Chains A and B, each alone.
Chain A
Amino acid sequence: MLLKNVQEWTLLLLIFGLIAAIGNWIGYSVFPVAALPGMAVLIVICLAGLILQHVLPVNIPSVAYIGIIGILVSMPVMPGSEYIVKWTENINILALATPILAYAGIAIGRSWTDFVKLGWRSVVVAMFVMVGTFLGSALIAEVVLRMQKII
């Protein structure tokens, strides 16, 4: 069961990685061969996190493992971290985000019927909800960062 999942995850991550690498080439001028080691590192980190989530009995989302593994392997104290950092620098984060949102656009078409049923008042409130949380957090961050003289 796990083996089958790992196989499927690997194939899908490779497809996604290939699409992102081409986007990375067209949009950010990184030749795919130069992006290869970085993409491979990221895929291995993802697989490690997905497998850990599957194997360990605790119920923690796989992205938490993946984030922590990514941080651990790139910390300066970790031997070889300079290669991880150097290779992954070639993968522009925006090049990863574009295919995510392309897939998301196709998937959320299914929510469209629900969306058009929302009244205009809901849409107005929703925009203020997002602006509210964004500005609220930014204001607090600004005050604390200035008090600490970081910015």
Chain B
Amino acid sequence: MTELKGIWKDWRLHLLVFGIVALTEWIGVFQFTVGPGVILLLPMLYAMLIGLGLFFTPVIKKAQALNAEPLIVLGVTLLIAKIGVIIGPSLPKLIEAGPALLLQEFGNLGTIFIALPIAVLLGLKRESIGMTHSVAREPNVGLIVDKYGFNSPEGRGVMAIYIFGTVFGAVFMGVISGFLATITPLHPLSFAMASGIGSGSMMAAASGSLVAAFPAFSDDIIAFAGASNLLSLSTGLYMSIFIGLPLTEKMYQLMTREKPSQSRVRKGA
């Protein structure tokens, strides 16, 4: 964010985004039911897919793809400012819900109990530790690379989830949050807190679907999701260091009956 030079002059990029936004907002929210649940497709989801599609046409050159990055960062600052002014008036409500906000951070360990068994069942080896110890955003990638090395199985695992999250995280979260919130008996505000998983775009997509599905709760949903996302950003790394990663290692050993000493011997051999 320190070296920005003349990106505002990239009119091709801004006009394209302008066109995408105008088109997708004009299309509006599209929703359909699957069994008892509702799947919501928001303009932001089409916008991302159209942007991605344009990348493969000559309209977008490498310069545009590079110049788009700082605009994501600045766009997220506007989003955070907007979340801030929603949180301000509802601060007493947030403080009242403080215990739930803090404790639901431990729910991020849900990846270990749900995704690790699947990874092991699919025959993945130590990749599964990198893959499932957390939701694999930047701080977690840093942790795994620091501990196991970039070219280790764990490092490849965390990178795989990171790449999936970068490319499809927002689209996926947007689709499942509305669906899960309509198919399960859990309250939209619980899902609002769950939307803050430490990534601005995933949080926006997940809480956006909730707002579209439950407009009556719209400000509370955004306040809870935003506060939870700030908490996830600040506690996520420590959660992984002290609980997530050790727990994943233990569970992995239990599931594969691999003794920690054995693995060390194999690595040395």
Spell out A's residues near B (CB within 8 Å).
Answer: 5, 8-9, 11-13, 15-17, 19-20, 22-23, 26-28, 41-43, 45-46, 49-50, 61-64, 66-76, 78, 81, 84-85, 88, 91, 93-112, 114-115, 118, 121-142, 144-145, 148, 150-151
B55 touches A109 (CB 8 A): yes
Report the minimum CB–CB distance from B66 to chain A (whole Å): 8
The answer on a CB contact under 8 Å between A93 and B163 is: no
Take A98-B21, A145-B97 as given contacts and tell me if A112 and B77 are in contact as well, using a CB distance cutoff of 8 Å.
no
Q: Within the complex, which residue of A13, A100, A142 is in contact with B190, where a contact is CB–CB below 8 Å?
A: A142
SS of B interface (majority): helix
CB closest chain-B residue, reference A62: B77
B99 near A107 (CB under 8 angstroms)?
no
Known: A50-B77, A128-B115, A133-B110. 11 other contacts (CB 8 A): A16-B75, A71-B87, A74-B86, A94-B208, A97-B44, A104-B51, A105-B53, A106-B64, A130-B176, A139-B110, A140-B100
Please tell me which one of the listed residues B123, B161, B166, B206 contacts residue A122 in the complex, with CB atoms under 8 A apart: B161
B240 to chain A, nearest CB (A): 12
Is A12 a contact of B4 with CB atoms below 8 Å?
yes
Docked-complex contact B18 and A22, CB < 8 angstroms: yes
The verdict on A130 contacting B79 (CB below 8 Å), with A22-B18, A99-B47 known, is no
Shortest C-beta distance, A18 to chain B (Å), equals: 8
Q: Quote the shortest CB–CB distance from B228 to chain A (angstroms).
A: 8
Cβ of B85 under 8 Å from chain A: yes
**B38 contacts which chain A residues (CB < 8 A)?**
none
The answer to whether A66 and B197 touch across the interface, beta carbons within 8 angstroms, is no
Interface contacts (Cβ under 8 Å), in number, total: 415
B143 close to chain A: CB less than 8 A: no
Q: With a 10 A CB-CB cut-off, give which of B8, B96, B212 has the most chain A CB atoms.
A: B8
Stretch at the interface among B144-152, B167-175, B258-266: B167-175
- Interface residue ranges, B against A (CB under 8 Å): 1-2, 4-8, 13-14, 16-18, 20-22, 24-26, 28, 42-45, 47-56, 60, 62, 64-66, 68-72, 74-89, 91, 96-97, 99-101, 103-115, 118-119, 122-124, 128, 131-132, 134-136, 160-161, 163-170, 172-173, 176-177, 180, 186-187, 189-191, 193-195, 197, 200-202, 204-206, 208, 211-212, 222, 226, 228, 230, 233-234
Check A93 against B204 for contact (C-beta < 8 Å): yes
Chain B hits for A63, CB < 8 A: 76-77, 80, 200, 233
Question: Are the CB atoms of A129 and B136 closer together than 8 Å?
Answer: yes
Pick the contact of B79: A41, A81, A96, A115 (CB < 8 A): A96
A122 and B77 contacting across the interface, CB-CB below 8 Å: no
Q: A98 to chain B: which residues have CB within 8 Å?
A: 21, 24-25, 42-44, 47
The reply to whether A27 and B43 contact each other, CB–CB distance below 8 Å, is yes
Determine if B226 and A67 form an interchain contact, defined as CB atoms under 8 angstroms apart. Answer: yes
User: Would A145 and B189 be within 8 Å (CB), given that A75-B91, A100-B44 are in contact?
Assistant: yes
| Interface core residue of A27, A49, A138 (most chain B CB under 10 Å) | A138
Q: What are the residues of chain B within 8 A of A127 when measuring CB–CB?
A: 172
Q: CB within 8 A of A126: which of B107, B131, B187?
A: B131
Q: State A91–B56 Cα separation when bound (angstroms).
A: 32
Q: Are the CB atoms of B26 and A26 closer together than 8 Å?
A: yes
Distance (Å) between the CB of A145 and the closest chain B CB?
Answer: 5
Within the complex, the shortest CB–CB distance from A87 to chain B, in Å, comes to 9
Chain B nearest CB from A74 CB (Å) reads 3
Give the Cβ gap from B136 to chain A, nearest Cβ, in Å. Answer: 7
Closest to B128 in A: A125
